[in-house]
Amino acid sequence: MQKFFARNTVAGWLMVSPLAVILLFFLVMPIVMIVIVSFWQATEFSIIPAFSLENYEFLFGSSVTYRVFLNTFKYALITWAVTLVIGFTVAYYLAFHIRSLTWQIALFLLCTIPFWTSNIIRMISWIPFLGRNGIANSTLISWGVIDEPLEWLLFSDFAVILAFVHLYTLFMVVPIFNTMVRIDKSLIEAARDAGASGAQILWNVIIPLTKPGIMIGTIFVVTLVMGDFITVRFMSGSQSANVGRLISNDIALLQYPSAAATAVVLLVTVLIVIGILLRFVDIRKEL
Amino acid sequence: MENSKITRRGLLKSGAAAVTAVGATTIGAPTIWAQNIKDITLRQFGTGVSNLNDVADKVKEDLGFTLEMTALDSDSVTQRAATQPNSFDIADIEYWICKKVWPTGNLQAMDTSRIANYDKIVGIFRDGKLTPESEIAQGTAPHTVGFVDGPDGKEFVQEQSGWMTLIPTIYNADTLGIRPDLIGRPISNWSELLNPEFKGKASILDISSIGIMDMAMVVESMGEYTYPDKGNMTREEIDMTIGIFTEAKQNGQFRAFWKSFDESVNLMASGEVVIQSMWSPAITAVKSKGIPCVYQPLEEGYRSWGGGIGLSKSLSGLELDAAYEYINWYLSGWVGGYLMRQGYYSAVPETSKDFMTENEWGYWFEGKEATDVITSPTGDKLAEAGETRDGGAFEERMGRVACWNAVMDENQYMVRKWNEFIAS
């Protein structure tokens, strides 16, 4: 008995088992269910538990699927690029330009203020702002910048990406800021002493050291954007679709197996994207 | 689970009922009912149009029991009725949804002999005819899904069998809503929805079963095609219909699509859209903000819808009695008056008359000029003296219904095509 417990591996297994059980029940099992259901058939009012590839055949056979996936990637890529630039700049400012810790914390909290209201409220508040007779258009007209209201401000890809950036930039700021404050300031001094310019320090010292933060932020933003459907629906006026909307439409129409199949494809896609991202950086080292 | 007749809740209730019955024998039978019914809670869900707290309050006042109301959107209503049979006692659903939900066996047919005002229910819901001469409109007309062959019937029957699926509660004839101040000319055809004049200023609703019917009205109005039955298209017809709209969408005809009542109100009120498919109370909501908005009667007629209440399969005993009591109360006028004063129609208009003023009845039902200000049940001003209702009297409006919201045989195909339209 003594020998049994003395073995590290057993104690280790026992220690992880509560978490393992929780993950098994609330993560693995639902995913397995989704995969199983994705092979079933459905009519309007019933689900037929018989193996069938029909859902996948339809999914891969439709040009809409590819267009929608492309659209999803487009949203993810543009949002990622914009949030990265903004997030990095904000984090850089907080980490290197604000000297006192109190101010760092105060300004950091300032960034989180928009998050005190719900996602949907923050998003919907853009609609009267960007509308045909909204604040943005009337201001621009009164300044004489434009004569006619800009139609593309609202219910367009522009509006969707704007809302995404607004909603998800903080997810970029936090991890980047977190890694930046851990950078040893003496490294920067050493670089400066060695004659490096500001740009060289940024490129050769700071960016490589914040890469894990960037990567974590990227994973947050990419997965959030790829799974979001409500933002796309509201901000495009239901005129564009991403994969999330495809799934939500299916569910609304009781097509659970078809929704499950789309979800499986989306899950696999996201996992591949994350797999590729993780090749660039060893996150474990950072946690 | 849904098949077992005895539930814990039911057992407790009937147990309590037995005890009270024994104790109350000296007092007299009616009291038993009055005492027991107070403890009953019926859970009703449905769309926001008719699931109103005012109704629940009035039920408590008039009948004594509690009615819990949950308002959802059309899709959620379908989902709930089809997948969560134990989560409700009364389902307030639309007739076209009935076609999807009835085969699940989650609802039970109602015995029309227990419904006092059955004979007074408008003909549309009994034999499909508003007046003996009227033609039956296309689509899922309510009477086609209104009856089944027996208490446990699964198949719809076309005659009045005595077993009803839904008791009609509310219905209306829909058309396009327009902003007359921003359009500045008369609109009289469905085809105006795709008129390039309104490029980037038109909208349609993103609920496939309803939207496809609006599309069909537009296609016929454009003279592109005449459907044998708009409510039951073939695959080719679906492709053609959605194709026309996809082309328009890609040319930038639409500003946005809407899914909920509020969205349609906001689109219209903010001037983002000047012409769109819309629902009558949404027009009222825009008007009550002081913005001109017209529910425009069109030459090709109306697209109609109807809702009704169905009973959960698991209802039995005292709760079932209470539900019948509720249905009889529903048809006895108060709710009808309440709904009619919002611009909807009641299943039994003649009983509603007692709950409306002469001015209101004249304006809403008879299409007469208002003799005084018309207000909604909640007190908002809807019309001035001298105004008449769009579309005229009840018979004129409901007599010009061209089709009913429908579920087609090719529904699944249509839904997929609809998704493609939205994603295109």
* CA neighbor of B157 nearest in space, from B106, B105, B109: B109
Return d(Cα A212, Cα B359) in angstroms, integer.
73
Q: How many CB pairs under 8 A join A and B?
A: 83
Q: What is the pLDDT of residue A151?
A: 85
Residue A141 located in a structural domain? yes
How many residues would you count in chain A?
287
Please give the structure tokens belonging to residue A208: 């490589």
Percent of chain B with pLDDT over 90: 50
Q: What is the pLDDT of residue B110?
A: 93
**Interchain pair A241, B83: CB under 8 A:** no
Tell me how close the Cα of A207 comes to any Cα of chain B, in angstroms: 39
Name chain B contacts of A45, Cβ cutoff 8 Å. Answer: 82, 100-101, 103-104
Tell me how close the Cα of B265 comes to any Cα of chain A, in angstroms: 13
What is the rounded (10 degree) CA torsion for A92, A93, A97, A100?
A: -100
How many residues would you count in chain B?
424
**DSSP-derived 3-state class of residue A112:** helix
Q: What is the pLDDT of residue B29?
A: 43
Q: Where are the domains of chain B?
A: 41-165+305-331, 174-301+400-423
**DSSP-derived 3-state class of residue B170:** strand
Q: Give every CB contact of residue B233 below 8 A, 6+ residues apart in sequence.
A: B212, B216, B227, B241, B408, B410, B414
**Interchain pair B420, A64: CB under 8 A:** yes
Average pLDDT score over chain B: 86
Q: Give every CB contact of residue A154 below 8 A, 6+ residues apart in sequence.
A: A126, A127, A130, A131, A132, A134, A235, A237, B272
Domain containing residue A179 = 61-286
**Residue B67: CA atoms inside 13 Å, Cβ hemisphere, count?**
29
Burial class of residue B21 in the structure, from the number of CB atoms within 10 Å of its CB (0-12 exposed, 13-18 middle, 19+ buried) = middle
Tell me how close the Cα of B422 comes to any Cα of chain A, in angstroms: 6
DSSP state letters, B33-83: HHHHHTT-EEEEEEETTT--HHHHHHHHHHH-SEEEEEEE-HHHHHHHHHH
Tell me how close the Cα of B419 comes to any Cα of chain A, in angstroms: 7
Q: What is the pLDDT of residue B108?
A: 92
Question: What is the separation, in whole angstroms, between the first and last Cα of chain A?
Answer: 35
Name chain A contacts of B202, Cβ cutoff 8 Å. Answer: none
Q: Give every CB contact of residue A44 below 8 A, 6+ residues apart in sequence.
A: A254, B100, B103, B407, B411, B412
pLDDT in tens, B129-181: 888 878 888 888 899 999 999 888 888 998 899 999 999 989 999 999 999 99
Interface ipTM above 0.85:
no
**Interchain pair A128, B270: CB under 8 A:** yes
Do domains B41-165+305-331 and B174-301+400-423 share one topology? The answer is yes
Q: What is the pLDDT of residue A286?
A: 60
- The Cα diameter of chain B in Å comes to 78
Name chain B contacts of A236, Cβ cutoff 8 Å. Answer: 256
DSSP state of A231: H
What is the separation of C-alpha B133 from the centre of its chain, rounded to a whole number of angstroms? 24
pLDDT in tens, B304-346: 999 999 999 989 888 899 999 999 999 999 999 999 988 899 9
Which chain A residue's Cα is nearest to B254? A239
Indicate which CATH number applies to the domain containing A99: 1.10.3720.10
Total tally of structural domains belonging to chain A: 1
Q: What is the pTM of this model?
A: 0.80
- How many Cβ atoms sit within 10 Å of the Cβ of residue A182? 13
Which chain A residue's Cα is nearest to B205? A238
Facing residue for B271 by CB, picked from A46, A133, A237: A133
Please give the structure tokens belonging to residue A195: 């004659």
Please give the structure tokens belonging to residue A196: 């490096």
Facing residue for B100 by CB, picked from A44, A151, A249: A44
Q: What is the pLDDT of residue A194?
A: 92
Q: What is the pLDDT of residue B4?
A: 42
pLDDT in tens, B394-413: 998 898 999 998 888 888 88
What is the separation of C-alpha B142 from the centre of its chain, rounded to a whole number of angstroms? 10
The CATH code of the domain at B41-165+305-331 is 3.40.190.10
Query: In CATH terms, is domain B174-301+400-423 a member of 2.40.30.10?
Result: no
* CA neighbor of A214 nearest in space, from A84, A74, A82, A78: A84
Q: What is the pLDDT of residue B6?
A: 47
- Reading chain A (287 residues) residue by residue, the pLDDT tens digits are 555 555 677 888 888 889 989 999 999 999 999 999 999 887 766 777 888 888 898 889 888 889 899 999 999 999 999 999 999 999 999 998 888 889 988 998 888 887 788 888 888 888 889 988 889 999 999 998 888 888 888 999 999 999 999 999 999 999 999 999 889 889 999 999 999 998 999 999 999 999 989 999 999 999 999 989 889 988 988 888 889 888 888 887 778 888 999 999 999 999 999 999 888 777 676 65
Strands (E), chain A: 41-42, 47-48
Q: What is the pLDDT of residue A6?
A: 57
Q: What is the 3-state secondary structure (H, E, C) of A21-81?
A: HHHHHHHHHHHHHHHHHCCCEECCCCEECCCCCHHHHHHHHCHHHHHHHHHHHHHHHHHHH
Q: What is the pLDDT of residue A258?
A: 87
Q: What is the pLDDT of residue A84?
A: 96
- The Cα diameter of chain A in Å comes to 85
Q: What is the pLDDT of residue A115?
A: 78
Return d(Cα B257, Cα B260) in angstroms, integer.
10
Return d(Cα A239, Cα A258) in angstroms, integer.
21
Facing residue for B272 by CB, picked from A131, A236, A245: A131
Low-confidence ranges of chain B (pLDDT < 50): 1-6, 8, 10-12, 14-31
Which chain A residue's Cα is nearest to B416? A250
